[in-house]
Each structure stands twice: as structure tokens, then as C-alpha cells.
Chains A and B, each alone.
Chain A
Amino acid sequence: MGRTSKDKRDIFYRLAKEQGWRARSAFKLLQADETFQLLEGLTRAVDLCAAPGSWSQVLAKRLYEPLPPEEREKVKIIAVDLQGMAPIEGVKQLRADISKESTAEAIIEFFGGEKAQIVVSDGAPDSTGMHDFDSYVQGELLLSALSISTFILEEGGSFVSKIYRADRTSRLYTQLKRFFKNVCVFKPSASRNSSIEAFVVAREFCLPDGYKPCNLTTEWHDQPESWVGRKKESPPVVQVPFVAYKGELDSDRTYDLGENYVYKEPVQQPLTAAYQDILQKTSQVNIKYEGIRVIHDEEMLKKWLENDENKSEKLGACVT
């Protein structure tokens, strides 16, 4: 195994580096646009859960870069995420929580009082390894994205979001159908066949009569009759049409590198990782048999250990 193995086994990983995308996920939005012409002529776009920014790159490439310099100021693209990311020309970054109404207000203000023409979201949760819970959390992310879209999306607008197809998919489709006349599920060829990942493409946004935008994940709080009840049989399956991308490249296939192959580094390494701290420490100390302790407040620790209740042994030397 070498550094070229991933280039052989993942054609989109290789192409993303060659074409300058920050992540291979760029091709998923590119393929959706190619299939549905989502981005034609748009000037106001929102990218939710944007980091590391490959979808924002696509938006800038499609909306901002093709225009002559004097017309580029008409294009407004805003990328929203709590995580930071490197700047992209033509894209404004907003570090905010997408489940907050204040975030929606900030977006509309950025658009000068107007609303977005498209909202895209490639949000996925930090995996726990518990499949059912991971699917639930991803669904909640989708509902959060949909919730803020009901605040910021203009009538007739479009919504594109990652979706984990699992055992609670019906409730997500039900919510999407409330607000969009045209809902389908799209599988790009850049997504692996074995992946439960797909993307909902929802078009023709229309708020129901009398509907007031709110957070859909807590909307049930205002419906006391639905808080609890006896367990019922499973509800009927809700389906939306399935559309697949017709392309030549196969993300599951292993490709020859070819004689003209030149290795390239990834465009952008991940900015943050939850375990970044420990990686630095374990490069110096092996935790296979011994633990590492990092003291945050030595005085408080001593005071706490002086309490007889808390002693499990004498205070030994610490690794700091």
C-alpha cells in the first residue's frame, strides 16, 4: 500500500485533487446541477454545514466565476458553519449555528433583504458507530437545514441536502413534501454504491397557507395532542422518485493510474479534528500501556484530593 492506492481506488478523490476541489464531495453537487440544472442563472445561494468548503467552491465556480468582473458583485454566496474554513473568493463565511433564528436573519441581511434562490447542505454528523443514532442525527441536521430554509428561501426556490436513507426516512420525506411541490432523491455516481447516502433535491418552494416558519425539530412542542400516545403500527412508507446520475465514472471501481499520472497532495488538509490534541501527545508518549494526564487546575486538584473521600492512592508523578 502506498500513497497512490487511494488515487487508484477512488477516481473522484483523484479528480478532486487534479481539478482543485477541496473534497471529492464537490462532484456530488456538480452532478446534481448537471442533472437538474439547479444553478442556472442564480445569484443568491446558501451553503449550510459548509466546511471544508467544496460545495461553496462549486457555487462560486458556477455562479460567480463565469460572470465578468463588473457583474460579479450581483452574486451573493454565503457559507454557514460553526467550523471555520479557508476563504473562497466570492463566498462570504458566517460562523453560526444553523438552528438559530438569528442565523436566518443574518443571511437575509447579507442578501440585502432578499431571500435565497437555493439552499444546499452536505451536512453529516460526527459518526458514533451506532448506525441507528447516526441516521437519526443526520435526519435532524436535514430538518434543521429545512427549518432555516423556510425562513430564508424565496418562493419557487430549491433545496438540496444530503440524506441518510435508513429506517426513519419517511418522516423526512413527509416534511419536505409540506414545502416543496417537487421532491426527489438523487444518487450521484460520486457516492459509493454501498453508501446509504443520497441527496434530496426539492424544488418549487412554497410555504403552506398560514404557516409560520419555525424549528421543525421542536415543532411538536406546540402540538400537545401529539406529545405521547400508545405505540402504533408502523406508518405507511413515504416514497419520492429516485433519480440517478448517468455518468461514466464509477466511484466503486479501481482505475489504472495511467502513464501520465502525477501524484498531487490534497487541496486542503482538514482544519480541525476532535482528536488533534491527543495525536500530538501520542507522537511523543505511547498510550498503549500508560495513560497521559493533562492537568488543567493543579491547585483545585490538590485541594480535591486532600478530601479523604476522593483518595484512591497517593498522588504520584504526573505526565504533563
Chain B
Amino acid sequence: MVLISDAFGLEISPNGILVGHGDQAVLYSSEPKVELPVQLREGKVRGFAWSSLRKSQRLLLLYSENEYSLIRCTTSSENDLFQLVYEGETRDWINAALFLEDENESEDRKRFVLHTSHSALLYMEYDLTSNADCTVLELARCTDSSILYYTKLHGSSFNKLAIISGNAFGELLVWQTQFPTESDPKSVMKTYPLLLRIEAHNGVIHSIEFDLQSQLLVTTSDDRSVKFWNIQKSGDWTTAEIKPMFSCYGHSSRVMCVVILKIDDRTFVASGGEDSYVCIWSSSGELILKRRQQFGAPIWRLGFSQDAEILYSTSSTGNLVGQNLKEVLNRPKIESTILSSLGDANEFVRNLKFVNNEIIVGLSSLNRLYYTRISPDSSHENKWLMVNDFPSYKRTVLEVFDDIIATCGHRRITLHRYNTNTNDFEQLFDGIRMKGTIRSFQFLSRDRYLVSDNLGYCLLLQTHQLHIESHIALFNNREPWITAALLISEQYLLLGNREGHVMLYCRSSASDDFQLKDSIRYLHGKMGSNFFKLLSLNADNAHVMSGGHEAFLKYLSVRFSDSTLRVSQREGIPLAWVEASPSDDLILGFNDNHIVAWSRRNDILLQLACGGGHRCWDFRLSDGDSQLSIAYVKQKRVYFYRNSLYNAVDNRLKDIEPNNWHVRNCNTLRLITPRNQSDPFILSAGDDNIIKVTQVTNDSLSQRAEMHSHISTVRSLQAIPYKSNGGDSSTWLVFSVGGRSQLCISQLSIDASNKCWISEISSHTLHNVAASKTSTIEARLMAIDVVQHSDGDLFSIYVAGGDGNISHYIWELETPNQLDLKHFVDIQRCPLGIQWIASKGMLLVSTTNGEVYGFDRTLETTYFQLQLHVTGINTIDIYVDRHLLHILSGGDDESIKYTVLNLNNNNVEQKIEYLGLHNAQVNALAIHCPTKSVAASELFAYTCSIDRQIYRIDLSTHKYKRVGYTCIADVKGMLLDEHQRMYFYGCGLQTMSISNIL
């Protein structure tokens, strides 16, 4: 079973980390992870509390909504044993819990408190030696009973307990279990006075943390602030004083959680926000670190491991992420070291490059070449040395590849080589090769170079004597020089020029000149590509990554058979522009005036302030791609930065497998199975605008590919198997629609080793043909289905738009940018679903007013129009049995309808409504035919609703029963695969096996 769901509970203890992952509770440690036992609990785990350790055992209390569980943990030399001993429930939402150490407590009677969201505290006792229920010793409640969003309990005994809470009005409330104002003689209920009511925030208080020893209390809120308070308490809590000191703003949305960190006798505060950022503040309120940590998913909880000095966060995707704070907090900020100046006061370094991990060469303002060695000891000052035998002329270019240094000027090129043994530079070449001022020198390898000048003259040169290998004919543009070059093979050369065009050149043999074959204009806008990176190469094609001045990487596909070049994919990344892709995981680029290192595995790793709009910089990745060095010129000075990129966190914990699922709602999901495979793949898309391809194997997911074509939410997608070119790979065409009237068509291939490749074929904006004179309607596209014609390259595309139009387009693979609108019909409602029934040549359309239409393939004939629900049809599934069409539908009206339609005469033969199953929207259902016989002797259905309940209906006998529940709180759909496995999706993903719930 796979579960991707919110992780609301997080508890750091010396022997492990407890995470509430959906309704599961998982213990991570240096041992394999342990899933704690559960019996009847259905709510999401929100918190934990440990009792003290006695006789090698202790109790763990976990709470979820109004449920709580007691688990006995027995510690032995080998491992910990967990035994569920009690599951209870209360009458209100539990938002805090704590074990107490009362004097009267015996070894076998554990006492704890449960606090509920209206300031009611249940003082409980559980006897480990008996199987009796928990006993309520007291119901303590406060005179204020407003709804609380957060509560913190403080104190080790009941009589010294303090309850500090935040409510929806932004008030901080403090009361204690002393000096009751009212006692009920009939029960053990007592009422205690509210001691403090402080107007703390403009919005909801989401978290509270305090440390009495350092007199610090911190609150976070809807108003995006992290507020620092001074808290002093001389006696009991009636003497408490809480006064505001300052508020910090660093988050761009709600601040959900906060922890106080004590490191080396210093105090810090860490806050986590809905914006996916973790901020670390000093005790004076300075922002020390701000880092996006969960790929855009809201951060729900923070926890700090004191022993390891690791800050953990959990998010809406259920991922647990750690950040080692030792390095972060050892220095005040991420800063660069200023290297020493050149000897001459009037001379400065204006461009620089790394030669190796220790040597940097710098081109000076007087056109001299200097070099310096970076000492591992950062306190030792570097020294710049001049390169002898460096010709004196004005330089326009400095480039380095391995130990080769190239400098260029007007028509002239000079090559040097750095000799590691002698620590000296030797001149390899100095001479004239070009006609104008050289603007770019591109290393294709150690001894092959592509050089271009401002006159549009471009040469491919080879060997260190710069023999001319080929002339390159460039466009005749104002700024024609090359900004990126890649020799794909001996025959193919890929170039990007300053104006943003990408050009594919080809030559028949090594002795011929390259000829322009294909081009893409303005690949990254009107600035050139910064780099090309060869990803794969075979006899038929090549795949290249390109980065430039936009927040997208573009993946280019070169087809050798006809020398064509096209964009096959794009990938959105959180950088304003991209400079380099030094490893598979790491991308370097700029945001504003910061150099940013972004990781596909770890999100943003580094943001280094460098002054803005920077061009003269270089980087070096070393120590197995884990250490990053950066050097740049700013205001005539050279700055240097070096640090480890990654935290040594994962080694401590086992079995933490981050999922790459959508960080926002998944709206649509399809299952595809490659040829000769048994495990399906998931095609999914949603509000993060991304289409994902994920492999499902037993209890785990493995993401294989992503498509970033959509500029807005994706509403619907369809995958059509397509003839492959042979071999063991399977190919699909993926058609997707969503916001901004966007229709995208992609091609997905999966080979025998489950390697996926997805490429964009075309993207269309479908304007309403009936647009009025005053405006153009860009309706959301709600649904899509596709029919492949007998001519395998011809497709009918049916699109349902939010403007009420059902449109029929003809699309041909050979002309992918052309869509021919054949016909459309206006149903006067927003359509919700569309489904092509191939065996009947019928298109089914469901709407927001509960109607379902049956159209012919041309949309010109309406076979039937049925009112199935009084409000929208949120989900629909069909089963065709000869001339009978079985329709099962769920709606916003909370009902499930079963309709059997005779397609010979379009009459309704059977109409059943299932009442009493759900009392919320029915968003998910699937028809299940366990036997694959032709006749529908056995037909079942599974239904799910926003009420989270799952029902099984026998469509023959019309009996139903509840079979389980889902963790996906806003379920948007479900699917059933051939392995009798159910997939529930929405704000997360959950798979269940039918055999496990029956």
C-alpha cells in the first residue's frame, strides 16, 4: 500500500524520530523503520507524547482528531517492541497531550492529559496491568472556550500544569490547573480561571514555543509574522508576564510552526511556513538562513534533534527533510571571502576562471593574466602571481577547459596550458585566426574550439595550433556570435547565438564544412543559451539540455534521419535564469542578485549574494559533487566562496524515501501498462501544472519523468497507445488540457528497463470560435478524450471547455501544430467529464447540472440526454455489456446513481439510487467486474466521498457495505487496476488492495 498524505505529527527523541504520516505513525531510526500498530484509528496522526522509561518499557501516546492510542514500547538489546494496548476517543478534537509524573503515580499506572480544542483538559490514568478503560481523574476546563488552533502544555505534574494556547482571533491565552473557581460535586469537573489574554496577532495563531530559562516565547500566525516575546515567571503562572519584544517577517504566507534551538549556549528560532520556507532567526531577530525545503509544499511541523543538531521538517507531501545546522550556524551568514588585490593599485581582475580546485586565473584590467592558489585555510591570504609570456593586447574573452586557458581579442587568440608539476603556464599558441573582434571561444573538447566574432565569422578549430577544421555560416544578425556550442557527434554541431536562436549544423564527412540544417528561434527568449549538455546519444537521435535566461530548462531532441531539431521537454525550476548543470542533481543559476544552487533532491541548497546582474563568475564542483566553490568579481574585487552543498543527514536514519509526488492537488490520473510488464505506471497531473510519470511496484512509487508544458492547472489527460518503432519499448501519446485554454500533446516512451522519456509534441491555446467583439474568452478546458483513427497517425480530439463548448478537432501527428476544428456544440453548462466509448462510437459528457449527454462521433447527433443528478456529476464510470450501457455516477448531491441504458433504442432500462452511503460529495467511484466473462453476471462498484468513507456495492443485488476509509481528505477520483488495486488521489495518493479490505 502506498500512502502520500500530510505529515502533521513530528516528535524527535534520542532513539528515533516519530512521524505522523497520514493515519500512520512511523518511527525512523538507525534501525529499519517501524510502522506502529493501529486497529480502529482513522484520523490523521497529529501528535505524540512519551512517558518516562521504567523497567525497560514506556508508553507512547499518539493522538489523531478525537482519537488517541496507547502503545507500549519495550526496549531490549536487539530492538524495540511496540504493542497497541488501548485505543480511545473523546468528544472533541485533541490538540495536545502530555504524560505526567505525579507523586501518586505507581509504576503500573500511567497518568497523562489530553487537551481539546475548546480548552478542556482530560486528566487520565491507565493501568498497564489490567485491560480496563482509561479512568478520568478530572475534567479541567478554562472559563474561556474559544476555538483553539494551537496549544502547548507545560509542566510535569497536574497541579503545576500550564496551558498556553492561540485562537482564531489572534489571542494568546494562558491558564493553569490551580485554584479552581468552580467544582461540580456530581462529577470530577472543575473550572479554572483564564490568567492571561493577550492580543498577539492580527490573524490565527498557528504555533507557540517558549523556553522559560531564556525567557523567550515565540508565536507565529496568519499575519506572516514570527513574534518574539519576553516571558518571566517568578512563582506560579499567576505571576507570569509576557511582553512583546519584536516581530520578524520573512515568510510570504502563513507561518505554521516554530521551534527554539539551543546550540552551543546560543539561542536561535526556526520557523516553517506554508510557502515551503524554513527561516532561522537569531535571538535578536536577524534572518540567518532562509531556505525552501519542501519543493513548494507547505511545511507543517519542525523538530530539532539536539544531539545531532539537525532541524527536521514535515510537509503536506508527507516528506521528512533534515538540515544539518552545524555548518549553518558556525558563521553568521553565507558569505564570501574577499581575495587580495593585485599588486598595482590601478589594476584589478575583471574576469576569472577556475583551472582546478585550487588555481584561479584572473584577467586584469590591463590585459595581464594572473593566477592565485586558494588555500584550504581560509584565514591564509592568497597571493596573485603574474603569468609570464603573456602577449600584451586587449582581451575580450577568457575561457578555461581542464588545464587549457584561452584568451582572445581582436582577431587574435592565445592558448596557455597550466603545468601542475611545475606550477607554471606555458604558451601553446598565439596568432590571428578571425576577422573581427572575438566575442566567444567555446571549448568543444580539450583540443577542439568554436570561435566567433562580431562580424559573424565563425570557425571550428582543432589542435593546439588552431588549424581550421570547418567554416560555420552563421545568421547575418546584429549580434551573431555564439553563446553555447556542443559537438554532438562528428557530423552534428549544435550552436546557440546571442540573439537566442539555436541552430543545428551537419556535415557529411569530417573533411566537409558544417551546413545549417534546422533552427529554433528564441529558445529562451531573446538572450542566448548559456550552455548545452548532451544527455543521450544513439544512432537515431540525441537529447540535449539547454539553459538560458528564463526559469525553464529546455530539452532538445535531434533526429539524425532528417537532421531536425525540436524542443521535446521543458522543466520549470525556481531560478530566474540558469547558468550551468554540473551534475544530474544540481543546477546553478541566478535569482535577482544571488547565485543559487538548486537540487532536484534537496530543493534550494545555496543562495549567495553577489551584487546583482553578475557575469564574471565561475564555479567548481569537487569532492564527488558535494563541495561547491564559487568565485566572482564585484566592484573590482574578487570574492570566493567554498562550502559543502549537502547535509550529512540521511546517513543517520534508515528507510526515509522521499516521494516526488505533486505538491498540490492531483486532479487527474491514468494508469498505463507497458508491453511485457505487469506493474502499471501512473500518469498524473494537477494544480502544480506538472504531468508526472510514476512507476508503481508493490508498496513504493518511483517517479520516472515529468512534463512541464502547462502554464496553468492541468484538469484532464488521456493516454493513447501508439505504434512503436519496434524493440521492447512502449509508446503513448498523452493529451492534456487545463487552465488558460491550453491543450498539450506529448509522447511518452517506456523501454524494457523502465526508462521513461517524455517529450512535448505541441501545445495549443484553444480560443472560442464564437468569441465576441469585445473580448476573447480563454475558458478553462475541463476534460479531454481522444479517438485514434484507423489511419494510425490521425486522431479525433474531443475537448470540453468551461465555456460550455464540446469541440471536435482533427489532429495529425505529421502536422502537430495544426488542429482542425470540425464541429462544436454548446451545452449551456460547464462540462465536467468526457468519455469516448469506443465499442459504441459514442461520446459521453457530464455536466455541472447533473446531466449526461450521449453524442455521436461528429457531435451532430444527440443520442440521449439524461438527468442523473440534481447537481454536478463529479465522477462517472461505465461498463458496456453488448447493447447495454451501465452508468454509475456520483455527484455533488451526495448520491450514487446506477443507470442501465439500452443503446438499441436509447431507453433507460434500470435506474437505481443508492441512499444512505455518503453525506458529502461523491468524487470517486469505479465499476469492478471480477470475472472477465462477457456477461455481467457479477458487477460491483467501489465509491468514495469527501466524507472519506469507502463503500462496496453489489450492482446486482443492490446491497452495499462500508469497507474502509481513505486518508485523502479531498479525494478527487479513484482508479482500479488489473491487480485489484484501488488508487485514490487528491491532495495525496493512497493505494489499497481490494483483497485487503474485503
Contact = CB atoms under 8 A, between A and B. Distances in A.
Q: Do A and B bind each other?
A: yes
Interface of A: 4-5, 8-9, 82, 97, 99, 125-126, 128-133, 135-137, 140-141, 165-167, 169-170, 173, 185, 187, 193-194, 196, 215, 217-218, 220-222, 224, 226-234, 237-240, 242-244, 250, 252-259, 261, 272-278, 281-282, 287-297, 300-301, 304-305, 307-313, 315-316, 318
Given A4-B775, A257-B775, A166 B246 contact: no
Interface in B199-219: 201-204, 206, 213-216
Nearest to A223: B91
B247 A173 contact: no
A188 to B, nearest CB: 10
A290 B949 contact: no
Interface in B242-275: 243-252, 254, 256, 265-268, 274
A300 B87 CA distance: 47
Given A137-B149, A193-B892, A307-B214, 4 more contacts: A252-B872, A274-B202, A277-B225, A311-B283
B145 A291 contact: no
Contacts of B949: 167, 234, 237
A167 B40 CA distance: 15
B907 to A, nearest CB: 25
Contacts of A272: 202
B603 interface: no
Nearest to B805: A254
A229 B134 CA distance: 7
A47 B267 CA distance: 48
A304 B850 CA distance: 64
Contacts of A167: 920, 946-949, 965, 969
Given A231-B88, A232-B40, A301-B284, A293 B919 contact: no
Interface stretch (B11-19, B41-49, B627-635): B41-49
B829 A313 contact: no
B249 A252 contact: no
The 10 closest A-B pairs by CB, nearest first: A274-B203, A291-B287, A193-B872, A252-B830, A131-B969, A165-B920, A254-B779, A274-B222, A291-B250, A244-B870
Interface SS of chain A: helix, strand, loop or mixed?
A: loop
A315 B286 CA distance: 9
B879 interface: no
B434 to A, nearest CB: 42
Interface stretch (B117-125, B383-391, B700-708): B117-125
Contact of B829 (A166, A221, A253, A315): A253
B265 A169 contact: no
A244 B894 CA distance: 11
Contact of A259 (B246, B247, B268, B774): B774
B419 to A, nearest CB: 42
Interface string B941-952: 000001111000
Contacts of B146: 97, 99
A221 B189 contact: yes
B169 interface: yes
Contacts of A8: 775, 777-779
Contacts of B169: 82
Interface string B37-74: 00111111000000000000000000001010000000
A232 B290 CA distance: 45
Nearest to B215: A304
Contacts of B874: 193-194
Q: Which of B87, B828, B830, B892 has the most CB of A within 10 A?
A: B892
Nearest to B802: A254
B946 A165 contact: yes
Contacts of B86: 230
12 contacts: A128-B149, A136-B117, A140-B118, A167-B946, A169-B919, A256-B771, A277-B223, A289-B607, A291-B279, A292-B248, A304-B215, A310-B214
Given A257-B774, A300-B230, A310-B283, A140 B147 contact: yes
Given A294-B249, A304-B215, A310-B267, A9 B780 contact: yes
B192 to A, nearest CB: 13
A42 B90 CA distance: 41
B285 A318 contact: yes
A288 B594 CA distance: 11
A253 B283 contact: no
A187 B919 CA distance: 13
B261 to A, nearest CB: 9
Nearest to B184: A222
B917 interface: yes
A209 to B, nearest CB: 22
A230 B68 CA distance: 9
B47 to A, nearest CB: 12
Contact of A218 (B118, B592, B962, B965): B118
B1 interface: no
Contact of B204 (A128, A308, A311): A128
Nearest to A317: B286
A295 B169 CA distance: 22
A186 to B, nearest CB: 10
Interface in B453-488: none
B902 interface: no
Interface in B922-960: 946-949
Given A137-B147, A310-B283, A257 B772 contact: yes
A311 B777 CA distance: 59
B267 A242 contact: no
B202 A275 contact: yes
A219 B918 CA distance: 27
Given A231-B40, A278-B225, A294 B88 contact: no
Q: Which of A97, A132, A185, A224 has the most CB of B within 10 A?
A: A132
Interface string B358-386: 00000000000000000000000000000
B849 A250 contact: yes
Interface string B736-776: 00000000000000000000000000000000101111110
A228 B246 CA distance: 42
B704 to A, nearest CB: 29
A290 B224 contact: no
A125 to B, nearest CB: 7
Interface string B79-101: 00000001111111100000000
B87 A231 contact: yes
Nearest to B268: A312
B284 A316 contact: yes
Given A244-B870, A296-B245, A300-B243, A289 B203 contact: no
Contacts of B977: none
Contacts of B609: 289
Contacts of B553: none
B133 A230 contact: yes
Nearest to B829: A250
Given A193-B892, A233-B40, A274-B223, A239 B969 contact: no
Nearest to A253: B830
Contacts of B215: 304, 307, 310
B915 interface: yes
Contacts of A166: 920, 946-948, 969
A239 B896 CA distance: 14
B300 interface: yes
B871 A293 contact: no
Contacts of B803: 253-256
Contacts of B892: 187, 193
B715 to A, nearest CB: 11
Contacts of A135: 969
A215 B609 CA distance: 56
A147 to B, nearest CB: 11
Given A231-B40, A277-B223, A128 B919 contact: no
Interface string B96-129: 0000000000000000000001101010100000
A258 B772 CA distance: 6
B187 interface: yes
Contacts of B403: none
B147 A130 contact: no
